[in-house]
Structure 1
Amino acid sequence: MNDSFNHITHPKEDDKTFITSYWTERAEDFRRLREKELQSPKLILWRNELLQHIGQNESLRILDIGCGAGFFSIILSQLGHTVTGIDITPNMIEKSKLLAYSVNSNVEFIVMDAEKLDFDTNYFDVVVARNVTWNLPHPDEAYKEWLRVLKPGGILLNYDAEHAKNHHHLPQSVHHAHEHIKPDLLDKCHTIYHMLSISSTDRPTWDKVLLENMGATVTIDSTVGPRIYAEEDEFYIPVPMFLVKAVK
C-alpha cells in the first residue's frame, strides 16, 4: 500500500458496518441529488451511455449493484427492462423505493451485500454498477459473484474511478458532487479510502487482469468521465471515471 495510506488509523478492512454507517448518513442527501440528476441533462447522457452497451430491442433482466438511491435502476426500468437494485445500506434501499415511486418506475429493491449475492447462477443478462467497487473490502470476491450471476454471454458494466488516490490532489472545482457534504462525513469517506486495499491498486488495469483471470472478456473505456462530466455542475466528479466492461 502507498505510504500515504500507511500512517492512517482506520477501522479493519472488513468493517462493513463502518462503510454502511457512512452511506446511512448520506442517504437522504444522496436521494435528493439523484432526484435532481434524473431531471438534468445527465439523465440523457447516462441513458445514451447505457444504451450503447445493452441496446433497446429486447427486455433484459438487469441487476444494479450498490444501487444507492436507484439512479441506474430507474433509467433501465424506464427503458423497459426488468431491474433489481441491491444495496447493503437499508436507508439507501428505502430512499431508492421512494424515488422510484415518485417517478412511477417499477424496480425491485433489496438489501443485499454486493460481495455475497443471493441469486441463482446464470440469472441476469446484465449487471451494472456505478461508483461501487472503490468502497468494497473484497472486490475480488464481488467480481466473482457478479460474473457468477450473469448468464453466459451476459455483460458487466462497472463504472468507477480511483477516488482514493486522487482525493488529496483534486482541482478546486466550483461545483462537484461532494460540495454539500459535512466535514465530518468527508472525513469518514476519507477513512474508507484509507482502510481499503483497493485504494492502492492501479485501476482499471487491476480490474481487467482480475476479470480476465476469471475467464471474462474485458474492455476498458477511459473516456466516460470527460464525456459525461464535462461540466462542473452539482453532479460533477473531478476524478476521471472509467468503464470496466466484461463479457462472460
Structure 2
Amino acid sequence: MSGQMIVHLVRHGESLWNVEGRYQGQQDSGLTEDGRAQAAQFAAAFSREVPHPDVVFSSDLPRVRDTAAKYVERVGVPVREDEALREMNVGDWAGMTLEDAEEKYPEIVTAVAAGADIARGVGGETFAQTRERVVSAIGRVVDVLESREEGGIAVIFTSGNPIRLAAAHMLGIPSPGHMVLGAPDNCSVTTFRLRDGRSEVVRYNHDIAQARPADQREIS
C-alpha cells in the first residue's frame, strides 16, 4: 500500500428509543423527526468535508440506513450494507428501559456496572463478541481500500457501541475496552487513519452538525 487510508465512522441520527432511554440493540424504533433533521444537517455539512468518498458502508438497520441515505444522495456513491456493522445484540432486553432491566435482572445489571462483560438478554452478545465482528467488518472495508493501492477514504454508518469498540481496538486497549470512551453523539464522526502499518485515532465523537448528546446508559 502506497497511500494512506481514512476511515470515518458515523453514528445514526436520533431514534425514538434513544429519546425514551430504551435498549435498542438490533431492533429498530426508527428515526425521530429530530433524527431525520440531524441526518439531513449532517449530510449537508459532511458532504462538504468529504465530497468524494471511495466507498460507503452501512449497517442494515433502518435507523442507520436512513441516516446514510441522506449523505449518499449528495455524494453519489452507492451504499454497501454489512449486517456485521449492526449494534450490539441485546436479545430480549430490546425495548426495555434501564429501570426495567434493573427490576427484572438486578444481578446482571449490577455485574455489568462493576465491569463484567455479560450478554444482555436471551440471545444477546457480550461487548467482546460485538467488538470481534465489528473489527472484522472494518477490516473488510480496509481491504477494499487497500486493493486500490493508492489508499482512499471510507465512510461507515453504524451505531454507538460499534464505534466505541472499534476506537478501543484502534487505541490498542484490551477487549472490550470501551468503557473509558464516552458514548458517541447522534450523527457524530469518529475518524481513523491507517498508514505505514500504523493506525491512528484522529478524532472521536466529533459533531459535524447539531446533535443531541448521547445518554451514557442507552444501547444505541
TM-score (norm 1): 0.37
**Greater RCO, CA 8 A, separation 6+:** 2
Q: Which has the higher helix share?
A: 1
TM-score (norm 2): 0.41
